[in-house]
């Protein structure tokens, strides 16, 4: 009577950790000289920033990571939308440009799909520094997913030295996955129930049967646990 659809369990997960870009993970955030002022960026930061940048309100985070490719060491960006949840990898197309007051950096990237192919579209975004740990970043939804942008809704992002993935998955991802998996499993169980009735079998209504409901909850919780772990792994880019 009770059966799950394993193929659909991770329908909303983008397996960024398996992108075939030929990259090998190196140290995530090597020591780098940071800004000379708490409200301005240094020239060296046009190549990318250190640390993790996250907004709990937006359910979003990103970070730079050094990776070893066939072309040598390359720096990429990892974007995580923990509300969906999706994780995307992007490759900078050039060094960032710096505003005259040195408080804003403009980055331009190309995103990579699940097969590692880079997009034809360039995506640009601003990071404005408010203090040593506080930044303003705008987010915008594209066909490829939500990304930092030069326009869109502005959010306050906090810089941390450790990954915010666990915090954000607990805040947003687990509930999102639980709702998705519950809907999928309930639909699957209801279909089996109706098929059993049509075949003349005497079966309990899964909506009121305590045993079936317990199995549904157990299956959903297990799938959500696995999904959360996968999102964290993808965002941290643990390859």
Residues 6+ away with beta carbon under 8 Å from 74: 23, 66, 67, 68, 91
Spans of the chain below 70 pLDDT: 1-37, 69-70, 239
> What is the rounded distance in angstroms from the CA atom of residue 110 to the CA atom of residue 98?
19
Per-residue tokens: 137: 């970043």
> What is the rounded distance in angstroms from the CA atom of residue 231 to the CA atom of residue 216?
22
Q: Tell me, what's the pLDDT at 4?
A: 33
Q: For the chain, report the end-to-end CA distance as a whole number of angstroms.
A: 38
E strand or H helix at 231: helix 210-236
Q: Tell me, what's the pLDDT at 151?
A: 98
Mean pLDDT of the residues in the chain? 86
Asked whether the beta carbons of 140 and 60 are under 8 A apart, the reply is: no
**Span 24-71, pLDDT tens digits:** 444 444 444 444 468 999 999 999 999 999 999 999 999 999 887 667
Asked whether the beta carbons of 139 and 62 are under 8 A apart, the reply is: no
Domain extent listing, the chain: 1-239
């Amino acid at each position: 009577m009770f059966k799950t659809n394993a193929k659909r369990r991770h329908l909303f997960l983008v397996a960024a950790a398996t992108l075939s870009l030929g990259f090998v993970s190196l140290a995530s955030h090597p020591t780098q000289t940071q800004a000379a002022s708490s409200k301005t960026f240094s020239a060296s930061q046009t190549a990318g920033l250190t640390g993790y940048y996250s907004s709990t309100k937006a359910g979003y985070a990103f970070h730079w990571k050094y990776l070893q490719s066939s072309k040598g060491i390359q720096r990429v960006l990892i974007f995580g939308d923990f509300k969906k949840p999706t994780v995307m990898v992007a490759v900078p197309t050039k060094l960032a440009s710096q505003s005259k007051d040195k408080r804003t950096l403009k980055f331009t990237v190309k995103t990579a799909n699940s097969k590692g192919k880079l997009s034809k579209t360039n995506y640009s975004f601003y990071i404005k520094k408010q203090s040593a740990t506080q930044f303003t970043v705008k987010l915008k939804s594209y066909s490829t997913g939500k990304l930092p942008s030069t326009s869109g809704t502005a959010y306050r992002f906090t810089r941390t030295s450790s990954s915010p993935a666990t915090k954000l998955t607990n805040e947003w991802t687990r509930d999102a996955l639980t709702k998705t998996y519950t809907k999928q499993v309930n639909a699957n169980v209801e279909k089996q129930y109706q098929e059993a009735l049509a075949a003349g079998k005497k079966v309990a209504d899964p909506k009121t049967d305590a045993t079936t409901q317990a199995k549904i909850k157990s299956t959903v919780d297990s799938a959500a646990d696995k999904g959360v772990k996968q999102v964290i792994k993808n965002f941290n880019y643990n390859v």
